[in-house]
Amino acid sequence: MKAFVFPGQGAQYPGMGKELYEKYPVAKELFEKANEILGFRITDLMFYGTEDDLKQTKVTQPAIFLHSVIITFVSGNNFSPDMVAGHSLGEFSALVANRTITFEDGLVLVSRRALAMQKACEMNPSSMAAILGLDDTVVEAVCSEFNGAVVPANYNCPGQIVISGTSHAVDRAIEILKLRGAKRALKLAVSGAFHSPLMEPARKELEEAIGKTPFNKPICPVFQNATALPSTDPDEIKANLVMQLTSPVKWTQTVINMINQGATTFIEAGPGTVLQGLIKKINKDVETLSAIA
């Protein structure tokens, strides 16, 4: 069975999407429609901008979403998912790919999400850090000592977990985790504590926007970040999508559950190959590919 997966923030690179725009009329049409919806020419920043241009919150998330989703539109019959999942932001791409939401509504939600997250980041000094070489249970135990000031945010693969919280708590947790045997503990170049309780203001804002957006019965199950479980129920998908901003991304658990449900080939649609690398660390025996338009 084919599982299509969609990357999140950090997968962007200068020039992304330019080849799609030039090669496929449908891609050009969708990119131009995105420029209109967003009210600025995101294509100029994607195709000709610098790394710093692409790091702007209002650009990063829509850019990755567009690149990922447009690949599925131009793939034609090659796009035939039995199940889908996305890492953080990528869950929105997955929901367009399995026809839960339209391209237009997905882009509007992603843009709203990016701006709401940025606003929440500015309210509290906060950060994230990748912890390598420790058991998840050890990281969870250390985080539990901080009474919610720092939490596990991304379960990326065995031995790689990201923590998220107030800047002071993350710095202190890094010190403790190094003493507990972490091979590496790296602060991430992000603007705040994604997938933590500090995103509550953004969650409320996004909940309102999601509540007003039509969600349809999908063509295949989506395995969602907050639960790591498959869903085809529009109301359930909405609720889990709202929960996502303040909940950890259970990527390891998601991939394991997709394999248990019959996934044998994972196809990454979007910029880069980060998810393929994580999937191979979760289960080296499954096939991983990039979506080829």
Q: Is 168 among the residues known to form the active site?
A: no
Q: How far is residue 259's CA from residue 246's CA, in Å, rounded to a whole number? A: 26
Secondary structure (DSSP) of 20-64: HHHH-HHHHHHHHHHHHHHTS-HHHHHHH--HHHHTSHHHHHHHH
99 torsion bin: left (phi>0), alpha (psi -120 to 50), beta (else)? left
Q: Is 88 among the residues known to form the active site?
A: yes
The token pair at 149 is 């000031």
Exposed (0-12), middle (13-18) or buried (19+): which is 254, by Cβ within 10 Å?
Answer: buried
- Taken in order 171, 173, 179, 184, is the CA torsion positive or negative? negative
Exposed (0-12), middle (13-18) or buried (19+): which is 153, by Cβ within 10 Å?
Answer: buried
Secondary structure (DSSP) of 138-162: HHHHHHHTTTTSEEEEEEEETTEEE
Strand pairing report for 83-86 and 126-132: unpaired
Q: How far is residue 101's CA from residue 84's CA, in Å, rounded to a whole number? A: 14
Tell me the C-alpha to C-alpha distance, in Å, between residue 3 and each of 256, 265, 269, 275.
12, 6, 10, 12
Q: Which of 67, 68, 87, 88 is catalytic?
A: 88
Q: How far is residue 52's CA from residue 41's CA, in Å, rounded to a whole number? A: 16
Q: Which of 68, 75, 127, 195 is catalytic?
A: 195
The token pair at 62 is 């829509």
The token pair at 91 is 């869950």
| The Cα angle at residue 189 between residues 184 and 193, in degrees rounded to 5 | 90
Active-site residues: which are they? 88, 195
